[in-house]
């Protein structure tokens, strides 16, 4: 045998034998990266039902098209993704295709996950494969037509979905590009914070936000909504990592995002996300879709009733003039109160408002729900809050409260 062939054979044998000692360490690093990316993507938050096993699916996701029940993504071969190959997982995450070739619904944010390259997707797959397998049969989605016709999703993908990994902008800094990758990719911020057209396609640069599980996710393209364009950087970083800062507090689904996802990311990554979000163009918010019309007499009656409810239910914590206290945020001048879309004010009154418990906010104050208030009462106190102490938001009608259910 010529020497070079012998050398090649010996090197090949060494390649089979020697790396075995380092395989465990390499696998551990890949799994650790996958866990981090899964945290950034909030996989557990979406794929864990209330009171259920982690990642075992069954979480109820309400949308304008009906109710989705998220799948089991543990490595159970029968009810999870235990028999999915790495290539099949890539196709799902980057191209929105199930192993049988059918299209995933865009309720799964593969439209954002496609920005991750194969190496990152493989890391997430390795992490999920390392989890305990949980047998959990998930019920079918409850969707209205045409969403209920899954084959039509292929047409939707051809019209609205462009697959492709994130490409860095050479004119921007490494920090900006890292933030852009996280926001547009694994963190899929626009999946919630973007308005959608009647076909479910996200208008990602719209100054109007989106609706998620009965709440309004304000636009990131408007500093009068959820945009961070005029925020001090440290306040914005604290808000995303802790859930509370001098500029505000997160509640509703965003509190879950901070608890399950953002608080576990490195500070450099949160800072990169803030850097990118602060670079977005700042646009005036669009008018509310439903502007209530009412007589002056009706309006005056709502303010009177709202003032009475506020004095009895809200004033002790929020102050006589909406100035807030240690236990409750200020309502006067609060941009969350004055959003064109009043959904969140309505939901906080109805369901309560709870900040996430995080390392920097271990014992957060919470606002209790007021389930005994009827729709007319909620409309009255919401109108009073939005029209008092210098606040100049539109009044809230009873029909708006009814629609928010």
> Three-state secondary structure along 113-170?
HCCCCHHHHHHHHHHHHCCCCCCCCCCCCEECCCCCCCCHHHHHHHHHCCCCCCCCCC
* Percentage above 90 pLDDT, the chain: 78
The mean per-residue pLDDT over the stretch 342-352 comes to 95
- Within-domain flag for 251: yes
Whether residues 221 and 139 share a domain: the answer is no
Q: What is the CATH number of the domain that holds 238?
A: 1.10.760
d(CA 31, CA 37): 10
**Cα 325 to Cα 315, 339, 365, distances in angstroms:** 10, 22, 11
Residue 69 has pLDDT above 90, yes or no: yes
d(CA 374, CA 401): 9
Whether residues 239 and 269 share a domain: the answer is yes
Range of the domain at 342: 296-403
d(CA 92, CA 232): 38
Residue 94 has pLDDT above 90, yes or no: yes
Distance of CA 255 to the CA centre of its chain: 9
The sign of the torsion formed by the CA atoms of 181, 35, 104, 403 equals negative
Each residue's pLDDT tens digit, 115-168: 999 999 999 999 999 999 999 999 999 999 888 899 999 999 999 999 999 999
Whether residues 229 and 332 share a domain: the answer is no
Each residue's pLDDT tens digit, 284-315: 887 766 666 788 999 999 999 999 999 999 99
d(CA 16, CA 5): 17
Going by C-alpha positions, the residue among 88, 132, 95 that lies closest to residue 113 is 95
Whether residues 154 and 236 share a domain: the answer is no
* Percentage above 70 pLDDT, the chain: 93
Q: Record the pTM.
A: 0.89
Whether residues 74 and 147 share a domain: the answer is yes
* pLDDT class of 64 with cuts at 50, 70, 90: confident
User: Could you give the number of structural domains in the chain?
Assistant: 3
Last residue of a domain, one of 278, 308, 342: 278
* pLDDT class of 7 with cuts at 50, 70, 90: very low
Over its C-alpha atoms, the chain yields an Rg (Å, rounded) of: 24
Whether residues 139 and 33 share a domain: the answer is yes
Whether residues 58 and 150 share a domain: the answer is yes
Each residue's pLDDT tens digit, 212-229: 888 999 999 999 999 999
Each residue's pLDDT tens digit, 97-123: 999 999 999 999 999 999 999 999 999
Whether residues 76 and 193 share a domain: the answer is no
- Within-domain flag for 341: yes
* pLDDT class of 72 with cuts at 50, 70, 90: very high
- Within-domain flag for 283: no
CB distance 72 to 81 below 8 Å: yes
Q: What is the CATH number of the domain that holds 398?
A: 1.10.760.10
Residue 84 has pLDDT above 70, yes or no: yes
CB distance 49 to 58 below 8 Å: yes
Is 103 exposed, middle or buried, given 0-12, 13-18 or 19+ CB atoms closer than 10 A?
buried
CB distance 105 to 153 below 8 Å: yes
CB distance 389 to 368 below 8 Å: no
Whether residues 33 and 150 share a domain: the answer is yes
Last residue of a domain, one of 127, 160, 193: 160
pLDDT at 301: 95
pLDDT at 36: 98
Each residue's pLDDT tens digit, 370-388: 999 999 999 999 999 999 9
- Within-domain flag for 166: no
């Amino acid at each position: 045998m010529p020497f070079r062939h012998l050398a090649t054979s010996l090197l090949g044998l060494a390649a089979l034998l020697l790396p075995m000692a380092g395989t465990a360490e390499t696998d551990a690093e890949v799994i650790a990266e996958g866990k981090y990316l899964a945290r950034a993507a909030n996989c557990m938050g979406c794929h864990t039902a209330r009171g259920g096993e982690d990642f075992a699916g069954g979480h109820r996701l309400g949308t304008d098209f009906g109710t989705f029940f998220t799948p089991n993504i543990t490595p159970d071969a029968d009810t999870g993704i235990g028999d999915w190959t790495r290539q099949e997982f890539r196709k799902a995450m980057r191209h929105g295709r199930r192993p049988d070739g059918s299209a995933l619904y865009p309720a799964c944010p593969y439209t954002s996950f496609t920005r991750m390259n194969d190496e990152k997707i493989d890391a997430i797959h390795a992490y999920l494969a390392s989890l305990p397998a949980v047998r959990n049969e998930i019920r079918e989605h409850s969707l209205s037509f045409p969403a209920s016709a899954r084959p039509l999703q292929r047409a939707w993908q051809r019209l609205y979905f462009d697959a492709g990994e994130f490409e860095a902008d050479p004119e921007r800094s490494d920090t900006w590009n890292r933030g852009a990758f996280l926001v547009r990719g694994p963190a899929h911020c626009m999946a919630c914070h973007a308005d959608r057209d009647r076909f479910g396609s996200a208008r990602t640069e719209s100054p109007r936000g989106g609706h998620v599980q009965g709440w309004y996710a304000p636009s990131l393209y408007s500093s009068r909504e959820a945009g961070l364009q005029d925020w001090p950087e440290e306040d914005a970083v604290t808000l995303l990592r802790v859930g509370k800062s001098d500029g505000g507090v997160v509640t509703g689904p965003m509190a879950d995002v901070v608890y399950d996802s953002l608080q576990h990311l490195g500070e450099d990554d949160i800072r990169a996300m803030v850097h990118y979000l602060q670079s977005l163009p700042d646009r005036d918010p669009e008018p509310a879709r439903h502007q209530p019309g009412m007589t002056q007499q009706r309006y005056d009656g709502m303010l009177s009733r709202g003032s009475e409810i506020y004095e009895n239910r809200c004033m002790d914590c929020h102050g006589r003039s909406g100035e807030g206290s240690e236990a409750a945020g200020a309502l006067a001048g609060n941009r969350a109160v004055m959003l064109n879309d009043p959904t969140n004010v309505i939901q906080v009154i109805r369901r309560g408002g709870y900040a996430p418990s995080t390392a920097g906010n271990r014992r957060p104050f919470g606002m209790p729900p007021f389930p005994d208030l009827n729709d007319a009462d909620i409309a009255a106190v919401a109108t009073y809050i939005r029209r008092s102490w210098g606040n100049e938001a539109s009044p809230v009608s009873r029909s708006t409260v009814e629609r928010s259910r």
